[in-house]
Structure 1
Amino acid sequence: MPASPIDPSLLQLVRQYQPADISAGCFLPLSGLSHHSLKIVLPERTLLARQQPLTPLPFVDRRREFRVLKKLSAGGVVARPLGYNQHWLLLSWQPGEMLTCQQFSEHFREICQALAELHHQPLTGYRLSLTALLEDYWQLCRQKTHHWLQYWQRLKSRGEPSPLRLVPLHMDIHAGNVLRVSQRCCFIDWEYSADGDIALDLAVICLNDPANEMQWINYYAEITGVEPGQFSRQIERWKPWLRLLMACWYQLRAEQTDSPQMQGLARQHWQNLSL
Structure 2
Amino acid sequence: MKLSGLVKVVSDTEQQLRQLIRRFLPTIDANSCQISLVEGLSGKSWRIADQKVSLLARPQTVQRQQLGINRRREAAALKRCGPPLAPRVILQQAGWLLVEWLPGECVDPETFNACLYNGQLAATMAQLHQCGCSGYRINLQQQFAAYWQQIDRRRLTPRWLAWQRYFSHGNMPTPLMLAPLHMDIHADNLLHSAGKLQLIDWEYAADGDIALELAALFRFNQFSSTQQRLFLSDYSQHGYRDLARLTQQIARWAVWVDYLMLMWFEVRWQQSQDSALLQQGAALYRQFCLPTKFSC
- TM-score of the aligned structures, taking structure 2 as reference length: 0.84
Residue 153 (structure 1) aligned with residue 160 (structure 2): no
Matched with 1:257 is: 272
Pairs within 5 Å for 1:226-241:
226-241=241-256
Cα offset, 1:160, TM superposition:
0.6
Pairs within 5 Å for 1:124-139:
124-139=134-149
CA 1:6–1:94 in 2, change beyond 3 Å: closer, same or farther?
farther
Residue 243 (structure 1) aligned with residue 258 (structure 2): yes
Matched with 2:182 is: 170
Matched with 1:45 is: 53
Pairs within 5 Å for 1:38-187:
38-55=46-63, 56-73=65-82, 77-108=85-116, 109-143=119-153, 144-156=156-168, 158-187=170-199
Helix, strand or coil for the counterpart of 1:125?
coil
Helix, strand or coil for the counterpart of 1:140?
coil
Question: Is the deviation greater in 31-40 or in 242-251?
Answer: 31-40
Work out whether residues 122 and 167 of structure 1, in 8 Å CA contact, stay in contact via their aligned partners in 2.
yes
CA 1:209–1:182 in 2, change beyond 3 Å: closer, same or farther?
farther
C-alpha distance in 2 between matches for 1:105 and 1:271: 29
Q: Once superposed, what is the RMSD of the aligned Cα atoms?
A: 2.2
Structure 1 residues 181-214: Cα deviation after superposition (integer angstroms, max 9, x where no partner): 1111111111111111111221111111322221
Helix, strand or coil for the counterpart of 2:17?
helix
Runs (5+) with no aligned partner, structure 2: 1-6, 289-293
Cα offset, 1:110, TM superposition:
1.6
C-alpha distance in 1 between matches for 2:17 and 2:28: 15
Matched with 2:4 is: none
Helix, strand or coil for the counterpart of 1:12?
helix
Matched with 2:44 is: 36
Matched with 1:9 is: 16
Work out whether residues 73 and 206 of structure 2, in 8 Å CA contact, stay in contact via their aligned partners in 1.
no
CA 1:101–1:147 in 2, change beyond 3 Å: closer, same or farther?
farther
Residue 209 (structure 1) aligned with residue 219 (structure 2): no
Helix, strand or coil for the counterpart of 2:66?
coil
Cα offset, 1:157, TM superposition:
5.3
C-alpha distance in 2 between matches for 1:136 and 1:43: 42
Fraction of identical pairs, as percent: 30
Helix, strand or coil for the counterpart of 2:137?
coil
Structure 1 residues 107-163: Cα deviation after superposition (integer angstroms, max 9, x where no partner): 022221111111111111111111111111112223333232222223345411000
Matched with 2:3 is: none
Runs (5+) with no aligned partner, structure 1: none
C-alpha distance in 1 between matches for 2:284 and 2:200: 24
Number of residues paired by the alignment?
A: 273
C-alpha distance in 2 between matches for 1:6 and 1:111: 40
CA 1:264–1:53 in 2, change beyond 3 Å: closer, same or farther?
farther
Question: Is the deviation greater in 239-248 or in 210-219?
Answer: 210-219
- If asked which structure has higher relative contact order (CA below 8 Å, sep 6+), I would say 2
Matched with 2:201 is: 189
